[in-house]
Amino acid sequence: MAENVQVIESLKPSKFKLSLPKSFEGFFLKVAGLSTFALRFFKEIIKPPYEIKETLKQFYEIGYKSFSLVGITGFIIGLTLTLQSIPTLQKFGASSLVPSMVALAVILEIGPVITALIFAGKIGSGIGAELGSMKVTEQIDAMEVSGTNPFKYLVATRIFAATLMLPLLVILADTLALLGGFISINLTNQTSLKLFLMNSFASIEMKDIIPATIKTFVFGFSIGLVGCYEGYNANRGTESVGIAANTAVVIASLLVILIDMIMVQLTSILL
- DSSP calls for 11-22: TSGGGG-----H
Closest to 74 measured CA to CA, from 32, 33, 112, 30? 112
Confidence of residue 3 (pLDDT cuts 50, 70, 90): low
Determine the angle formed by the axes of helices 206-232 and 239-270, rounding to 10 degrees: 160
Confidence of residue 21 (pLDDT cuts 50, 70, 90): low
Task: Specify the length of the chain in residues.
Answer: 271
The pLDDT value recorded for residue 165 is 95
Cα distance between residue 15 and residue 35, in whole Å: 33
Percent of the chain scored above 70 by pLDDT?
91
Distance of CA 159 to the CA centre of its chain: 11
For residue 13, pLDDT beyond 80: no
Cα distance between residue 41 and residue 49, in whole Å: 14
The pLDDT value recorded for residue 148 is 83
DSSP state of 127: H
Summarize the confidence of residues 90-110 as an average pLDDT.
Answer: 86
The pLDDT value recorded for residue 196 is 87
| Rg of the chain, C-alpha, whole Å | 24
pTM of the predicted structure, to 2 decimals: 0.87
The pLDDT value recorded for residue 8 is 47
